[in-house]
Amino acid sequence: MKRYRRILPVIFGAGMLAAALSGCGGSDGGKQIVRIGHNQATDHPTNIALMEFEEYVESKLGDKYNIEIYPSELLGSQTDMVQLTQTGAIDFCVASNSILETFSENYTLFNLPYLFSSADAYHMAMDDPQIVDPIFESTKKAGFEAVTWIDAGTRNFYTVSTPIESPQDLKGLKIRVQQSPTNVRMMDLLGGSATPMGFGEVYTALQSKVIDGAENNEMALTSNGHGDVCKYYSYDMHQMIPDILIGNCAFMDDLSEEERSIFEEGFALINKVEREEWVKAVEAAKDKAANEQGVQFLYPDTKPFQETCASMHTEMLAQYPDLQPIYDKIQEHNAQHPSEAE
Ligand code: GCU
């Protein structure tokens, strides 16, 4: 059953929002309300997959749980939602791996530019428990754990009016990046001026020329309307950053063994459905961007971009040596699935 409560995150800070949510009560006619927040539109693969999760869990445990999905930043920015999940004001949220880096340094790894040699290597690595488990469990002390990953494609630069063919073209441009030290460092190396801000602020910032461009997957052009303002999208392929569904640990620990396994099946379903929907959604987004929004797609040589940020891998491993074995495992997947371009 769906009953969206319009909660205005712009008015409430995360703390006040937490108080408001707990004031709403955690049960609905004896059922426990399970709140899941994310920042995508309702037709986005993430929302479609979460709705399947809702249907699945309620078909098995509907007498006990009422799953409520809050899309489109209704519960605030991703950073707000992670904090709400930590405290248990909400039970789950989808956060970009970039954002999680500020909650646990382990997440820094998946934010490295050019970490994965191909989409196949990325998918195999993210499906490998030896790679993800140590990272996904590393935030338990902070009150949340990752329960599955969600494909968010490849991130590329796009600008209002400057075609990006090489790192030199980024010089002097203000480019929105996600709020993470790795993304700021990457932008510094590539020569643009990093402008960190939340996803929901990007459209207005582009339109009012506070920034000259941004970087994201193709869905941002259509689902978020950025292609109405930005006319050049350059496939420099700098990052494959997953989205992560995180859950409140106290909520997860309170589940009985049987409930837990149904929730686990639901998490696997989210991953499966989202990945299937993703392929279709990106194709449709490219088509719409090119034919309706007039976005020009560019295919620069990715090597100069990659070489410019290559030092970030050694820098990160020197800073977080514990991540070396996981990094090495990723290289095994890279060796098995080399770049499609080679
Ligand atoms: C993608 C990603 C989101 C993220 C956004 C951003 O859309 O799926 O999780 O918030 O990029 O750039 O902030």
For ligand 1, atom 6, the nearest C-alpha belongs to 199
105 lies in the same domain as 165: no
The whole-number pLDDT of residue 25 equals 45
Arithmetic mean of pLDDT over the chain: 94
**The domain spanning residue 145 has which CATH number?**
3.40.190.170
Do 192 and 317 have their domain in common? yes
- pLDDT tens string 275-296: 999 999 999 999 999 999 999 9
Q: Which of 151, 120, 169 is nearest to 298 (CA)?
A: 169
- Both 61 and 202 in one domain: the answer is no
pTM, rounded to two decimals: 0.94
Hey, which of 46, 96, 101, 224 would you mutate to test ligand 1's pocket, going by the most ligand atoms within 8 Å of its Cβ? Answer: 96
Cα–Cα distance measured from residue 193 to residue 196, given in angstroms and rounded to the nearest whole number: 10
Position 10 confidence tier, pLDDT thresholds 50, 70, 90: very low
pLDDT at residue 2 is higher than 70: no
Q: Would the pLDDT of 138 be above 50?
A: yes
Q: Which atom of ligand 1 is nearest to the CA of 243?
A: 9
The verdict on 77 and 195 lying in the same domain is no
In-domain check, residue 9 = no
Other C-beta atoms closer than 10 Å to the C-beta of 69 total: 20
- Place 141 in a pLDDT band, splitting at 50, 70 and 90: very high
| pLDDT range class, residue 1, cuts 50, 70, 90 | very low
**Ligand 1 binding pocket includes 39 (Cβ within 6 Å):** yes
Residue 1 lies in a domain: no
Between the CA of 200 and the centroid of ligand 1 the distance, in Å, is 9
Residue 157, SS3 per DSSP:
strand
Number of domains comprising the chain: 2
175 in the same domain as 135: no
Residue 341 falls inside a structural domain? no
Would the pLDDT of 8 be above 90?
no
Residues 206 and 276 in one domain: no
pLDDT at 147 over 70: yes
Q: Is the pLDDT of residue 87 over 80?
A: yes
Percent of the chain's residues with pLDDT above 70:
92
b/e map 183-208, b = 16+ CB within 10 Å: bebbbebbbbebbebbbbebbebbee
Q: Is the pLDDT of residue 22 over 80?
A: no
Within a domain: residue 23? yes
For residue 17, pLDDT beyond 90: no
The whole-angstrom separation of Cα 229 and Cα 160 is 6
Residue 342 lies in a domain: no
Q: Assess whether 30 and 67 both reside in one domain.
A: yes
Cβ of 108 closer than 6 Å to ligand 1, yes or no, is no
Q: CA–CA separation, 188 vs 164, rounded Å?
A: 16
Backbone phi, then psi, for 159, in 5-degree steps?
-135, 160
Residue 183 confidence (pLDDT): 98
Give, for ligand 1, the residue of 243, 246, 278, 282 to mutate: max count of ligand atoms closer than 8 Å to Cβ: 243
Q: What is the mean pLDDT of residues 150-173?
A: 98
Atom of ligand 1 nearest to the CA of 38: 9
If asked whether residues 142 and 170 sit together in one domain, one would say: no
Residue whose CA lies nearest to ligand 1 atom number 8: 152
- From 267, 282, 297, the end of a domain falls on 282
Whether residue 88 is found in the same domain as residue 125:
yes
pLDDT score at 3: 38
Alpha carbon of 212 to ligand 1 centroid (Å): 18
Residue 34 DSSP SS3: strand
97 lines ligand 1 (CB under 6 A): no
Does the residue 4 lie in any domain?
no
Q: Which of 17-26, 59-68, 180-189, 230-239 has the lowest mean pLDDT?
A: 17-26
Strands, E assignment, 53-180: 65-70, 92-96, 144-150, 155-159, 174-177
Q: Is 306 part of any domain?
A: yes
Residue 132 CB–ligand 1 contact under 6 Å:
no
Dump pLDDT digits (tens) for 304-336: 999 999 999 999 999 999 999 999 999 999 999
CA Rg value for the chain: 20
Nearest atom within ligand 1 for CA of residue 214: 12
Cα 248 from Cα 230, distance rounded (Å): 37
Same domain, 236 and 204: yes
Q: Which atom of ligand 1 is nearest to the CA of 199?
A: 13
92 pLDDT above the threshold of 60: yes
Q: Are 142 and 290 found together in one domain?
A: no
Together in a domain, 27 and 107: yes
CA terminus-to-terminus distance, the chain: 49
Atom 11 of ligand 1, residue of closest alpha carbon? 216
For residues 154-174, give the mean pLDDT. 98
pLDDT for 21 equals 65
Between the CA of 228 and the centroid of ligand 1 the distance, in Å, is 18
Of 36, 38, 39, 230, best ligand 1 pocket probe by most atoms within 8 Å of the beta carbon:
39
Asked if residue 8 is part of any domain, the answer here is no
For residue 268, give its domain range: 14-153+241-282
Q: Is the CB of 222 under 6 A from ligand 1?
A: no
State the closest ligand 1 atom to the C-alpha of 46, by its place in the atom list counted from 1: 8
296-298, strands of its sheet edge to edge: 193-196, 174-177, 213-216, 155-159, 232-239, 296-298
